[in-house]
């Protein structure tokens, strides 16, 4: 083995910037754990893992991180036993426990440090106006509501306000000020805003083509047409600041351990969940189980052509939406073109500056989220996806409320579908889902609503079906689908399905949050059905819950 141990950090450095070091230590332990397994638990591999864990135990003890210390000591005790010819189950559990404690600690620090997610009015506002007098009434109204305003009218003031603490909660930028900024300054502002999770609002007097282009160029989170009521601005700021930051899942397909550690630390510091894949044969399993929001794919892989790997990902409709960023040795036109031909979204140099990497990933993720919101169909089954099913369900529940007619919402879930995938392969599982989709379409009425949630879960809305009719329809569906045979080449499979039904009688007058209540009751009913045993159906009425 030629891998070198990362330098041991002092206790002060280790805990000076949590969750940075916690995430890095998690990544280092995971890396050398995998290396030890790969090299047959040889003495050198064990020593490296023991060295890192010993340092972690000592630092944790000095800073009273008792949970980390105890978990690390348990790993050390097991590592001191020898010889090892294979990975023992007790050591595996101890390492998993240690990594779990580190993850919880890091996530706790991320939540604690990211105060912006829990900010309440009044806000710190940075207003970048070319002519502040033009917005006098707007500024007066904001000050009357006790918001703290900093005015900027040139590029130097902008740079100052983005480097001096406290940073603003919101940036409000008008079209004339934006026109004065150089492309470099605009890019710098966008990167810093993304890194610090500062939303910014673009305002203009017109909603014409030029204004829309300027808005897109700015990368702002919202576009308001001036003049607008102060309530509209306050509502927009509240929505941008109060919404919970989504924890994105990033899949790293890389071989070089130092690069893996570097990217894991950078992305976890941004609150992202990161998984590392170094064996291409586990790709489909990772795509299904981890369900990444974005893939970083290294072009220097040795065992497989990375461009062929990207093409493989793009062969399945279910994964077409996942952005793929290629890590290239040089960001030239030739490599960029090769990446695009393979289905990649963009390229970036392998050792690019962290700010550029985070900004590019953030941009791809935000664009992809917007596309997913306007994409109605699930890529694998062709059914309505979760978001669009909810939109249709909201309209249906509102109509049912007005007409006093009932609606039954059922969640059908394949029992032990994850185990089925692991036993028969994920490709086989996808084919079963497609065949089950066809069966459901054939058995449901034309007016009923059918969608896919995730994994092996489907959701059905039955209109104008009373309590007992809805129960009978779903029970018949479950029975028929559980006895059906699903064919693949020469193989034949059977599955079992459980279902939970929420019955909405149409007279509860909870229109605004009806879909949440119905889905919540359906999910609880599904859980009850699972507890009863495979192939069970449980129905609950919303009447008994109000």
Angle formed by the axes of helices 306-314 and 333-341, nearest 10°: 40
Q: Give the per-residue pLDDT at 3.
A: 35
Domains in the chain and their CATH numbers? Answer: 1-114 (no CATH), 118-242 (3.40.50.2300), 247-375 (3.40.50.2300), 386-545 (3.30.70.270)
**H or E, element range at 503:** strand 497-504
pLDDT of residue 472 exceeding 90, the answer is: yes
Distance (Å, rounded) from C-alpha 203 to C-alpha 226?
6
- Rounded average pLDDT over 52-63: 79
The answer to whether 500 touches 525, Cβ cutoff 8 Å, is yes
- Rounded average pLDDT over 322-347: 91
DSSP class per residue in 369-400: HHHHHH--B-TTT-SB-HHHHHHHHHHHHHHH
pLDDT of residue 13 exceeding 70, the answer is: no
The answer to whether 357 touches 328, Cβ cutoff 8 Å, is no
Band of pLDDT at residue 47, cut at 50, 70 and 90: confident
Q: Give the per-residue pLDDT at 182.
A: 64
Band of pLDDT at residue 177, cut at 50, 70 and 90: confident
Distance (Å, rounded) from C-alpha 351 to C-alpha 296?
13
Question: 450: which strand partners?
Answer: 460
Cα atoms found within 13 Å of the Cα of residue 240, Cβ hemisphere only: 21
Backbone angles phi, psi at 255, to 5 degrees: -115, -30
Q: Give the per-residue pLDDT at 117.
A: 43
**H or E, element range at 251:** strand 249-253
482-518 confidence digits (pLDDT tens): 888 877 767 788 889 999 999 988 665 554 455 557 8
Distance (Å, rounded) from C-alpha 274 to C-alpha 265?
9
Burial of 500 (0-12, 13-18, 19+ CB in 10 A): buried
The answer to whether 370 touches 377, Cβ cutoff 8 Å, is no
pLDDT of residue 529 exceeding 90, the answer is: yes
Q: Give the per-residue pLDDT at 152.
A: 79
Is the four-CA dihedral 239, 241, 244, 245 of positive or negative sign?
A: positive
pLDDT of residue 544 exceeding 50, the answer is: yes
Q: Give the per-residue pLDDT at 109.
A: 46
124-154 confidence digits (pLDDT tens): 898 888 888 888 888 988 988 888 888 877 7
**132 Cα distance to chain centroid:** 39
273-325 confidence digits (pLDDT tens): 999 998 877 888 888 778 899 999 999 988 889 999 998 888 877 788 899 99
pLDDT of residue 366 exceeding 90, the answer is: no
- Rounded average pLDDT over 60-83: 74
Q: Give the per-residue pLDDT at 232.
A: 82
Q: Which of 245, 244, 193 lies closest to 221 in space, CA to CA? A: 193
The answer to whether 321 touches 464, Cβ cutoff 8 Å, is no
Backbone angles phi, psi at 314, to 5 degrees: -75, -10
């Amino acid at each position: 083995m030629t891998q070198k141990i990362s330098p041991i950090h002092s206790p002060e450095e280790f805990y000076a910037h949590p969750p940075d070091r916690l995430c890095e230590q998690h990544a280092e332990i995971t890396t050398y754990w995998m290396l030890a397994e790969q090299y047959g638990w040889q003495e050198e591999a064990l020593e490296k893992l023991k060295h890192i864990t010993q340092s972690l135990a000592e630092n944790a003890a000095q800073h009273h991180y008792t949970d980390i210390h105890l978990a690390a000591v348990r790993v050390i005790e097991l590592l001191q036993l020898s010889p090892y010819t294979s990975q023992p189950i007790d050591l595996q559990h101890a390492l998993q426990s240690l990594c779990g404690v580190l993850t919880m600690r890091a996530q706790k620090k991320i939540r604690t440090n990211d105060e912006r997610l829990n900010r309440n009015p009044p806000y710190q506002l940075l207003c970048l106006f070319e002519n502040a007098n033009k917005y006098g009434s707007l500024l007066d109204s904001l000050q009357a509501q006790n918001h703290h305003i900093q005015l900027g009218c040139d590029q130097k003031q902008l740079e100052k306000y983005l480097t001096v603490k406290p940073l603003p909660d919101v940036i409000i930028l008008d079209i004339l000020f934006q026109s004065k900024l150089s492309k470099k300054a605009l890019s710098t502002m966008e990167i810093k805003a993304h890194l610090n999770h500062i939303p910014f609002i673009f305002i203009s007097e017109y909603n014409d083509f030029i204004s829309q282009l300027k808005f897109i160029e700015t990368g702002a989170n919202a576009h308001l047409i001036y003049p607008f009521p102060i309530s509209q601005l306050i509502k927009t700021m509240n929505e941008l600041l109060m919404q919970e930051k989504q924890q994105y899942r990033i899949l790293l397909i890389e071989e070089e351990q130092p690069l893996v550690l570097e990217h894991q630390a950078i992305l976890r510091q941004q609150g992202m969940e990161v998984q590392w894949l170094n064996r291409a044969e586990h790709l489909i399993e990772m795509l299904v189980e981890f369900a990444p929001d974005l893939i970083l794919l290294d072009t220097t892989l040795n065992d497989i052509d990375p461009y062929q790997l990207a093409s493989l990902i793009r062969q399945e409709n279910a994964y077409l939406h996942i952005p793929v960023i290629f890590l290239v040795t040089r960001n030239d036109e030739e490599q960029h073109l090769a990446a695009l031909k393979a289905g990649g979204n963009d390229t970036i140099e392998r050792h690019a500056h962290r700010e550029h990497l985070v900004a590019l990933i953030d941009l791809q993720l935000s664009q992809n989220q917007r596309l997913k919101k306007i994409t109605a169909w699930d890529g694998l089954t062709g059914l309505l996806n979760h978001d669009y099913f909810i939109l249709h369900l909201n309209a249906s529940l509102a109509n049912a409320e007005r007409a006093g007619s009932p609606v039954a919402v059922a969640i059908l879930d394949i029992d032990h579908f994850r185990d089925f995938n692991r036993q028969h392969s994920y490709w086989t599982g996808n084919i079963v889902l497609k065949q089950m989709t066809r069966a459901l379409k054939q058995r449901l009425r034309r007016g009923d609503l059918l969608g896919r949630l995730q994994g092996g879960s489907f959701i059905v809305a039955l209109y104008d079906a009373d309590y007992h009719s809805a129960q009978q329809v779903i029970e018949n569906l479950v029975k028929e689908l559980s006895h059906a045979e699903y064919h693949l080449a020469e193989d034949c499979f059977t599955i079992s399905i459980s279902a939970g039904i929420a019955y909405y009688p149409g007279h509860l007058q909870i229109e605004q949050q009806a879909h949440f209540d119905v889905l919540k009751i359906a999910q609880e009913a599904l859980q009850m059905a699972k507890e009863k045993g495979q192939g069970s159906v449980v129905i609950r009425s919303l009447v008994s819950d109000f």
